[in-house]
Structure 1
Amino acid sequence: MNEPAIAPAVRRVDERHRYEIGVDGVRAGLTAYRDRDGQRVFFHTEIDDAFAGRGLASVLVREALEDVRSSGRRIVPVCPYVAKFLKKHEEFADITDPVTPEVLRWLETALAR
C-alpha cells in the first residue's frame, strides 16, 4: 500500500529573510525578501530541480503573500516569478506596490550588507 503524500509546508524564516517550502521534511525551495518601511520586497524565488513541475512555487508564493497580508505589510514584486504570480492573482492587488528605481537602489544596498 502506498503511503499518503505529505502536503507541502511553508514556513517563514525571519533570520534568513525568506519563506521556505518543504516536502516530506526536505526543503524544496524558497522565496527571499527584505523588509522596507511596511513593505516586503520579494527579490528571488527558486524551487530545487528535484521538486520541479509540482506547482510548489505557486503554493510557496501564495502562502507567503497571504502571510504578508496578515502582517499588515505590502508587497513589492522585484522577483519575476512573484510579479508573474500577481498578474494572475488579482486578489493581492490591494496590497501590491510598484517596483520603482528607489526600491531597486534600496534593495541593492540592503543585499550588499
Structure 2
Amino acid sequence: MEYELINNEEAKQYEFHIEGQVPKIEYIKAKDKIYLTHTEIPKGLEGKGIGSALVKQALDDVREKDLTLVPLCPFVALFIKRHPEYKTLVLKGINIG
C-alpha cells in the first residue's frame, strides 16, 4: 500500500496519516545535512511494513533535496544496511554496518 509522505517542517518530522494515527520519523536539519533521530510507529500499525515505507519515502525525499544523511535512528540505519542503494546518502565516515 502506498501512503502519502508529509514533511511536517513545523514539527520537524516526516509523517504518514493512517487511520487517525501518525507514524513518524523525527529529524534535525542543519544546512545541507539531515539527522534522522527517531522513528515511531503507533502500536496498532506495527508489523505492517509502514515503518519501512516511511523510511523509504523519507530517504527518497532526502535524495531529491540533495541533503547529506546522518542516520542516528537505529531503525533507519538498519533499513539502509538492508537497502545499500541508499548508502550514497550517508555522510562519509559514518559506518552503518
Give the corresponding residue for 2:30. 36
Aligned-pair identity in percent equals 30
Flag the structure with larger Rg.
1
When the two structures are superposed, what TM-score results if normalisation uses the length of structure 1?
0.76
Counterpart AA for 2:41 = I
Gapped runs of 5+ residues in structure 1?
Answer: 1-5, 100-113
Pick from 65, 84, 87 the counterpart of residue 93 of structure 1: 87
**Number of corresponding residues:** 93
Deviation track 1:3-50 (CA, whole Å, cap 9, x = no partner) reads xxx7432211011110011224x2331000001231110010010001
When the two structures are superposed, what TM-score results if normalisation uses the length of structure 2?
0.87
The separation in 2 between residues aligned to 1:56 and 1:28, in whole angstroms, is 11
The separation in 2 between residues aligned to 1:9 and 1:86, in whole angstroms, is 21
Superposition pairs for residues 1-113 of structure 1, below 5 Å?
A: 7-24=2-19, 26-97=20-91, 98=94
- Counting strand residues as a fraction of each chain, which structure ranks higher? 1
- Counting helix residues as a fraction of each chain, which structure ranks higher? 1
Q: Cα RMSD between the aligned structures?
A: 1.6
Counterpart AA for 1:49 = K
